[in-house]
């Protein structure tokens, strides 16, 4: 199977690495990729994921059997549709189905029709007056959830007990020309559950938890994600099945009923409150950084799994198999991330071909034969172990061998779970 992965982050590095380990996969290509992925895939740096014509041309040149689209922007822009129209098997939803991430109003409508629990939400457009903004703010709180209603890759949300900070974020989003979504705050520990979806067939992967704030103890601004662990020792034994039954299957069925069936990876971001799981948001693609940890425990060859979704045969796929134990992934970020990431610092102790050490590269470029930071989240390191403690120790021990001047990472990924500080409300 000749495979082409679209995207350039650590998530795409993880996808490419897992595909390269599938005996049925003969070729792995990534476009545009990053130089850290070059050990397991042929890179096509000139092809940007949002450029549907260029992606179709590359898939044609490679005679690709399977195209896997990583990020949301090409999915929302309809790149999967262009590939399907050209006859390719694609892992990733149509532009119409990708609205589950691209349009929060669409997602809320699907959830309302499907009877799925989620936060109450209200949109405030860029034309709103100061009085209208203040009135809307006062219908929410005392913890405010202020979201950029455009595609923000998980970075456009501010959760704050500070009314002035909430209003400041409304202004910031409006200044960029986007509407704001105010949401009621959902209490309870967060869960990321990724489901393979093919129409109304839903197959869950292992549940994971992301750490979105930049600093230890969930302090500082939100980021794209600073680390994750999987599975979740504190989740009730029937937790995944409840999320599938109460959230993912009803949503998948509703999308079929509305004429926009989902095919690809449906990411349910949830808070587990006193009434069980409630949806914080949906994404139409694998999450980053959770994917890096989740895929590292998957032993079923990935190419066949993704091809089953792309070819509409997910219902016939045998049950997925997983390694026992835990995986933890920690993000090494550039100085100044998330506000003003500093680029150009050299990375020592990690390079292309370090996948078995757990390294997955994201914001990296090559300069004079070495990798340098070129983005906010620079790379991930994954550790695995029989226990969450061992997995954490493995990840942090490997990270200690890598140096990025000015770089920073959280030291508490998975720690609250290890210390028994996470519990679902009764
Ligand atoms: N883990 C956050 C995201 O992928 O959006």
Q: What is the pLDDT of residues 17-27, one digit of tens each?
A: 999 999 999 99
Residues 38 and 86 in one domain: yes
Which of 159, 183, 207 terminates a domain? The answer is 183
Give the residues surrounding ligand 1 with Cβ less than 6 Å away: 154, 210, 225, 283, 287-288, 290
Q: For ligand 1, atom 3, which residue shows the shortest CA distance? A: 287
Q: What is the pLDDT of residues 149-161, one digit of tens each?
A: 876 655 578 999 9
Contact 194, 205 (CB under 8 A): yes
Q: For ligand 1, atom 4, which residue shows the shortest CA distance? A: 287
Least confident of 29-43, 122-136, 250-264: 122-136
**Does some domain include residue 303?**
no
Q: Token pair of 124, please?
A: 């405030």
Q: Which of 210, 281, 282, 338 to probe ligand 1 with, by most ligand atoms within 8 A of CB?
A: 210
- In this structure, the dihedral spanned by the alpha carbons of residues 206, 212, 215 and 220, taken in order and rounded to 10 degrees, is -160
**Does some domain include residue 246?**
no
Residue 149 DSSP one-character state: S
Q: What is the pLDDT of residues 24-47, one digit of tens each?
A: 999 999 999 999 999 999 999 999
Residues 37 and 88 in one domain: yes
**Does some domain include residue 17?**
yes
What 3-state DSSP class applies to 119?
Answer: coil
Residues 22 and 64 in one domain: yes
pLDDT for the residue numbered 155: 59
Q: Which of 76, 230, 267 to probe ligand 1 with, by most ligand atoms within 8 A of CB?
A: 267
**Does some domain include residue 279?**
no
Residues 11 and 75 in one domain: yes
**Does some domain include residue 50?**
yes
Q: How confident is the model at residue 105 (pLDDT cuts 50, 70, 90)?
A: confident
pLDDT for the residue numbered 230: 99
**How many domains does the chain contain in total?**
2
Q: What is the pTM of this model?
A: 0.93
Determine the structural domain holding residue 165 and report its residue range: 122-183
**Does some domain include residue 310?**
no
Contact 246, 265 (CB under 8 A): no
**Does some domain include residue 41?**
yes
Residues 140 and 82 in one domain: no
Residues 8 and 85 in one domain: yes
**Does some domain include residue 376?**
no
As a whole-number percent, the residues of the chain with pLDDT over 90 amount to 92
CA proximity to 270, closest of 306, 294, 242, 291: 242
Ligand 1 center from residue 339 Cα (angstroms)? 18
Residues 136 and 58 in one domain: no
As a whole number of angstroms, the distance between CA 235 and CA 244 comes to: 14
Residues 21 and 78 in one domain: yes
Residues 90 and 126 in one domain: no
Q: Token pair of 237, please?
A: 């034994």
As a whole number of angstroms, the distance between CA 178 and CA 183 comes to: 16
CATH of the domain at 131: 3.30.1490.20
As a whole number of angstroms, the distance between CA 69 and CA 222 comes to: 25
């Amino acid at each position: 199977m000749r495979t082409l992965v679209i995207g350039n982050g650590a998530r795409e590095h993880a996808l490419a690495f897992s595909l390269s380990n599938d005996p049925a996969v003969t070729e792995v290509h990534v476009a545009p990729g990053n130089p850290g992925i070059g050990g397991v895939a042929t890179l096509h740096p000139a092809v940007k994921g949002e450029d549907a014509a260029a992606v179709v041309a590359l898939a044609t040149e490679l005679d690709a059997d399977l195209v896997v689209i990583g990020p949301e922007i090409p999915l929302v822009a309809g790149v999967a549709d262009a590939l399907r129209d050209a006859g390719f098997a694609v892992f990733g939803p149509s532009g119409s189905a990708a609205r589950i991430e691209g349009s929060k109003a669409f997602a809320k409508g699907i959830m309302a029709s499907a009877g799925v629990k989620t936060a109450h939400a209200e949109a405030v457009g860029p034309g709103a007056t100061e009085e209208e903004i203040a009135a809307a703010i006062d219908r929410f709180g005392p913890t405010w959830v202020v979201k950029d209603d455009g595609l923000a890759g998980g970075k456009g949300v501010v959760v704050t007990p500070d009314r002035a900070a909430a209003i400041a974020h409304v202004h910031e989003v409006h200044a960029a020309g986007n509407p704001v979504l105010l949401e009621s705050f959902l209490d309870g520990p967060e869960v990321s559950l990724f489901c393979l979806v093919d129409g109304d067939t839903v197959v869950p992967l292992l549940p994971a938890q992301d750490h979105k704030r930049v600093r230890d103890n969930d302090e500082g601004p939100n980021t794209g994600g600073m680390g994750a662990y999987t599975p979740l020792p504190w989740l009730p034994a029937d937790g995944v099945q409840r999320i599938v039954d109460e959230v993912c299957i009803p949503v998948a069925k509703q999308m079929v009923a509305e004429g926009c069936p989902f095919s690809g990876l449906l990411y349910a971001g949830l808070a587990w409150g006193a009434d069980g799981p409630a949806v914080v948001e949906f994404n139409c693609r694998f999450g980053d950084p959770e994917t890096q940890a989740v895929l590292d425990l998957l032993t079923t060859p990935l190419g066949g799994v993704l091809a089953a979704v792309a070819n509409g045969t997910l219902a016939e796929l045998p049950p997925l198999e997983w390694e026992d134990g835990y995986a933890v992934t920690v993000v090494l970020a550039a100085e100044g991330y998330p506000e003003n990431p500093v680029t150009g610092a050299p990375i020592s102790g990690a390079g292309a071909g370090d996948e078995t050490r757990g390294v997955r590269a994201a914001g990296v470029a090559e300069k004079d034969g070495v990798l340098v930071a070129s983005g906010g989240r620079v790379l991930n390191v994954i550790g695995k172990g029989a226990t969450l403690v061992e997995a954490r120790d493995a990840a942090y021990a490997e990270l200690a061998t890598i140096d990025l001047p000015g770089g920073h990472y959280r030291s508490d990924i998975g720690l609250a779970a290890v210390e028994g500080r996470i519990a679902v409300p009764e």
